[in-house]
Chains A and B, each alone.
Chain A
């Protein structure tokens, strides 16, 4: 066994291509697929949105996904190590991604904890006739926007349980923890959500909901905002650009077909979004008919859709409790597989940099993450902090680092050619000059347009009317602090045993593999 293969064996790996794909799909399919895509499609041309969405998937989403795969599969390391092995000057970008993942993990866990509670609430329709008042009053006990350390036991306990589950999964390792979770959770998620869609389609008014979602508004295709929304949705939905796919692709065999796998992951993610759109709008159509209002008066997204609109649907639908368990259970399954992938980016980076054991690195990452999560999101002000951090870290974290990483790899490291050669070594779909153009120019340009539009909005109007000090601290402040922390982490020296040169390109059989 060579030093390189010994090091890879030490890092852990997925046991097969299928497990890798399920884990990658589990990461990509998250809460946004269920509660963001349907409303974005509805708001941006309905059925006509299919066209820009498909263009964005093929010209930005999948090419960018393949870039992440190439970086991790060739670099055989966490995001910072893979960037460092591509070009030493880009290592800080990997740490930027690690910092973003840490921030996302601490608030994402809170939403999963809410969904866990709401799965149980569904059986007894605990929210009564006023789901919104219940959410912000009895459940979250939210006061005025601000920072409070008043703990909310109803959130704190499930949040602690979520982190305990995450700790257990991550300690088990890449295959037995992450891989096994994906192998179980993804089929369960598809079955549960599929059952929800079937139930929703048989509700009275479902047709009106689907009509609202799919009726094409062709004039919308002439609006730049619609195309920006399509690129934004694909980008946020695919889990690209913040280290997850780099990390996961470093855990697969050198002989794995990365381009073929990328196509499966990309279309599986979008296929699930379509399923979510059908289920959500069929249910919203029922709600609209039950209340005698048009669909546009009940259509919503995000927390409002999940924790206000769906409880109202559950109240009125036949077998509403079953719909609730399926819906919130789906959120939990989709959320956990995504949370696990996000926290793995941090664990993997800490392991690589400090050469820690899996258990030591997991404890060193998960316990502080859980503590921060409990302190900030298990309190009466948690929902406001969560809303601000989520908004800003998505735009001035994920979106910005994605643009910077593509430009740095393409124009600073000038590594696109060797990365495309690497993908073509084992890929069933060859990447050629078209990929270089898309990743080096078109995709960063499209995402820059999305970013500039968001920046103009945020500079023009304070987000959701929150106080300036809150936006400065938890919005702009957190986004800037992540960059600063990334630079500081880059200054920490790699251990002498860690090589910063890319491992060989020879996809020869790995001695650790079992002959099939």
Chain B
């Protein structure tokens, strides 16, 4: 693989998979409403 391709692949991984990790962290740590369980339709 060329250096440019490697850089862009790593960049895409950092942005998209890093973005997913950051979004999950935000949801679990900064969310105003805690994860809840409720019994509808169970």
Q: Identify the stretch in A192-200, A208-216, A488-496, A497-505 within 8 Å (CB) of chain B at 4 or more residues.
A: A208-216
In the assembled complex, the CB of A424 is this many whole angstroms from the nearest CB of chain B, namely: 10
A429 within 8 A of B: yes
Measured as residues with beta carbon below 8 angstroms from the partner, the interface class of chain A is 35 or more
Interface hits, A257-316 → B, CB 8 Å: 257, 260-261, 263-264, 266-268, 270-271, 273-274, 278
- The secondary structure that dominates the A interface is helix
Tell me which residues across on chain A come within 8 A of B30, comparing CB atoms: 260, 428
Q: Which residue of B lies closest to A266 (CB)?
A: B23
Q: At the interface, yes or no: A120 with Cβ under 8 Å from chain B?
A: no
Task: Select which of A17, A253, A260, A271 is within 8 A of B16 by beta carbon.
Answer: A271
Give a binary string over B1-42; 1 marks a CB under 8 Å from any A CB, 0 the rest. 110111111011101110110111011001111111111111
In the complex, are the beta carbons of B37 and A516 less than 8 A apart?
yes
Q: How far is the CB of B30 from chain A (nearest CB, A)?
A: 4
Closest B residue by C-beta to A16: B37
Show the binding face of B for A, using Cβ within 8 Å: 1-2, 4-9, 11-13, 15-17, 19-20, 22-24, 26-27, 30-42
The CA of A13 and the CA of B12, in the complex, are separated in Å by 35
Which residues does chain A contribute within 8 Å of B42, judged by CB atoms? 15, 175-176
Tell me whether B40 and A274 are in contact (CB under 8 A): no
9 CB < 8 A contacts A-B: A47-B4, A176-B42, A214-B5, A260-B26, A263-B19, A274-B12, A274-B16, A512-B39, A513-B38
Asked if B26 and A211 make an inter-chain contact with CB atoms under 8 angstroms apart, the answer reads no
When the two chains form their complex, are residues B16 and A267 in contact, meaning their CB atoms are under 8 A apart? yes
Q: Does A46 contact B (CB under 8 A)?
A: yes
Q: In the complex, what distance in Å separates the CA atom of A210 from the CA atom of B20?
A: 22
B35's partner among A9, A274, A510, A516 (CB-CB below 8 A) is A516
B36 touches A516 (CB 8 A): yes
Please indicate the chain B residues that have their CB under 8 angstroms from the CB of A256 in the complex. 33, 36
Question: Cβ of B38: which chain A residues have Cβ within 8 Å of it?
Answer: 13, 15-16, 253, 510, 512-514
Q: Which residue of A lies closest to B13 (CB)?
A: A274
* Known A210-B1, A260-B23: A9·B31 in contact at CB below 8 Å: no
Going nearest first, the 8 A-B pairs with the smallest beta carbon separation are A47-B8, A513-B38, A12-B41, A263-B23, A13-B40, A267-B20, A214-B5, A255-B33
Interface of B is mostly: helix
Closest chain B residue to A507 by CB distance?
A: B33
- The answer to whether A54 and B2 touch across the interface, beta carbons within 8 angstroms, is no
A residues in contact (CB < 8 Å) with B:
8-9, 12-13, 15-18, 46-48, 50, 54, 173-176, 207, 210-211, 213-216, 253, 255-257, 260-261, 263-264, 266-268, 270-271, 273-274, 278, 426-429, 507, 510, 512-514, 516
Residues of B within 8 A of A273 (CB): 16
A52 to B4, CA, bound (A): 17
* Neighbouring A residues of B37 by C-beta, 8 Å: 15-16, 513-514, 516
Q: Which residue in A18, A428, A513 is a CB contact (below 8 Å) of B26?
A: A428
Given the complex, which residues of B lie within 8 Å of A173, measured CB to CB?
41
Residue with the highest number of chain B CB atoms closer than 10 Å, among A54, A213, A214, A253: A214
Query: Contact check: which of A46, A174, A263, A429 meets B8 at CB < 8 Å?
Result: A46
Closest to A41 in B: B12
Q: How far is the CA of A278 from the CA of B13 in the complex (A)?
A: 10
In the complex, what residue of chain B is closest to A207 when comparing beta carbons? B1
- In contact, B20 and A264 (Cβ under 8 angstroms): yes
Closest Cβ of chain A to B31, distance in Å, is: 4
Q: Is the CB of B36 within 8 A of A253?
A: yes
* Most central of A13, A253, A271, A273 by chain B CB within 10 Å: A271
Q: Which of B2, B23, B32, B36 is the one whose CB lies under 8 Å from A17?
A: B36
Measured between beta carbons, the chain B residues less than 8 angstroms from A512 are 38-40
Which residues of B lie under 8 Å from residue A47 when comparing CB positions? 4-5, 7-9, 11-12
Task: Report yes or no: A54 in contact with B26, Cβ–Cβ below 8 A.
Answer: no
**Residues in A whose Cβ lies below 8 Å from that of B2:** 211, 215
